[in-house]
Chains A and B, each alone.
Chain A
């Protein structure tokens, strides 16, 4: 009897805990234009597919945005939202798109992939947005992309770098480089600049971005004559990395590649230093957050990561962007803000070029983008709907990320 009651209790807890995760959706919502709901669900192009989104009939141009406004990657969502808002303010001040004002409805996915799918469904079916912008994290973009694809709503991810994101269909685009490139950049940097011959990799196994980056880093590092001496992993939500780091330490690598997000990276750095590990740490654009140094403090000093742009650039476009952003939000824009700013501008440019709110025409316009002048470099969309762009290596110094090198594709 006792066995039964105890196990029942556990099932109850697990059930209720998962319920808890699913409820309480905290929306970060901008005032959205009242859309005249249209019950006539005629598809924009051939076929009576009931999955298709309604024809867009809003008085304004309404963009949908989903992102992690809260949670352990909260700065990703907040920075992206700031970048998008700034882009739209500039566009509206210059007359808008198709002579209409552009607005954005932003929903919080709390950094959870399932939640991303839910809020994107809501953006399409209830908020009736024209197009979708988001996400930063590849896992979340991967969860939402099939929904946009089957609804025929163009989606631009500003900074999801996992290759699989745009493979979800011809309505899914991105305005950043992809993992094979970023992983390669990291490996080349470790080999050539840091002169490392032995590397260890610590991956977040539950994260598509992290797994992808690790794979391409390893391939390139080995190809260049390096050796991967330790491959260790953790799962999103872990806080104690001492065990993995002890294993890595035993192999005495020259550099440790940690393609995770900033909260984990900061925690890992602190614990690595406390175990007496002094190797340089290397990461990807998931490190690009002001929180990296508030969490990692002294432990992350001197570490390197690859990213999309450097706010120190002397390019007048970037300098103007950085100055305006500082004026609006009182902070230096991280690369996710810059990518989101570019994605929003590119999206509006494509709608203007399409000349209508027909989603198929907008899709074609995005696909035809060539040399679009963004603050993260000139953006050309290739046949696989990815952007071809250079990457930069940054080094953590104090509370700032100093520019080290630019790597061209």
Chain B
């Protein structure tokens, strides 16, 4: 039964990695750019959730002796998610407009350095703005045990995280495969210049991709903060890098690959920690990265496209 518990633990963390990895992979798909600021957008999502919970009075409702989880509560929780996702979508749009679009036609290295610069700006700006001290995140979802066995616990939090994450991934899959905008995204990903010649407004498509990826990261940020309830301005650093590894593992540019990569990454981490080698938890992520780059540079589900140099 312990292994079942560990699978649930791994699945929960993996769902969050996958949500973030999707943003890396989508932006790479349309722009061939690794948006290293993506992990920090995830952090901003958590803070947006934190502050909107405060403004909506949700934190106050939860800080009483016996918080009530009635209909109003769930409406407010949905609002917190909405506000966090919306504000990160706007942040994503702004990043794209002011940091990346001016460099659209410069060498790729310049855009990459910019991404790192934006990441540093958000991390240090976050420390200045929110204070570097960890903040307790309100328990948006009650700590109810759906299954309470001596050897197996399934909490409402875990079910919600896995459920919401996969719902969002299905929505994304629908947007990409069934909508006009999704078709445009795929066209831009295939060949930006040709897409533009076919009458697709590539600027809009790229902006939309950033907004979508950032909104998913925000959802991941809020979900993770409910699961591990402290937030700090550097929380996106390591998670962002791991999600990036997950995206590379799955095959950067591939949406199902990002999900698979996230789940495998977290599975590997959980296994390492469960066997008592928790000091290698972060090392395993980068060991995976090195192995993937050596053995299968295109990732598990990526297409191996010959690149003209």
Contacts and interface: CB of A to CB of B under 8 A. Distances in A.
Interface of A: 1-3, 6-7, 9-10, 12-13, 16-17, 20, 24, 70-72, 74, 110, 205-206, 231-235, 237-244, 246-247, 249-250, 252, 263, 266-267, 270-271, 273-276, 291, 294-295, 297
A402 to B, nearest CB: 19
Task: Please report whether the interface of chain B is mostly helix, strand, loop or mixed according to DSSP.
Answer: helix
Contacts of A246: 2, 5-6, 9, 274
Contact of B151 (A20, A238, A250, A294): A250
A198 to B, nearest CB: 15
Nearest to A108: B132
Interface stretch (B174-182, B187-195, B199-207, B293-301): B293-301
7 contacts: A1-B309, A6-B297, A12-B116, A72-B134, A234-B273, A243-B273, A263-B230
B124 A24 contact: yes
B237 interface: yes
B87 interface: no
B115 to A, nearest CB: 9
A1 B6 CA distance: 39
B274 A247 contact: yes
B274 A233 contact: no
B297 A2 contact: yes
A238 B229 contact: no
B303 to A, nearest CB: 11
Contacts of B96: none
Contacts of B113: 12
Contacts of A263: 134, 230
Contacts of A1: 307, 309
Contacts of A242: 9, 12-13
Interface in B151-179: 151, 153, 155, 157
Given A235-B279, A235-B282, A297 B136 contact: yes
A273 to B, nearest CB: 7
B99 interface: no
Contacts, number: 128
B133 A70 contact: yes
B298 A2 contact: yes
Given A9-B34, A72-B133, A267-B228, A238 B281 contact: yes
Contacts of B281: 235, 238
B278 A70 contact: no
A239 B235 contact: yes
Nearest to B113: A12
Interface in B255-276: 269-270, 273-274, 276
B287 to A, nearest CB: 13
A233 B307 CA distance: 44
Contacts of B238: 237
B145 interface: yes
Contact of B230 (A2, A3, A239, A275): A239
List the 10 closest A-B pairs by CB distance, nearest first. A239-B228, A70-B132, A243-B273, A242-B9, A3-B297, A246-B5, A295-B136, A250-B2, A74-B133, A16-B116
Contact of B293 (A6, A231, A237, A252): A6
Interface in B180-235: 224, 227-230, 232, 235
A234 B136 contact: no
Given A70-B132, A295-B136, A238 B12 contact: no
B294 A3 contact: yes
Nearest to A19: B120
Contact of A232 (B13, B132, B143, B276): B276
B276 A74 contact: no
Given A72-B134, A205-B279, A233-B279, A16 B230 contact: no
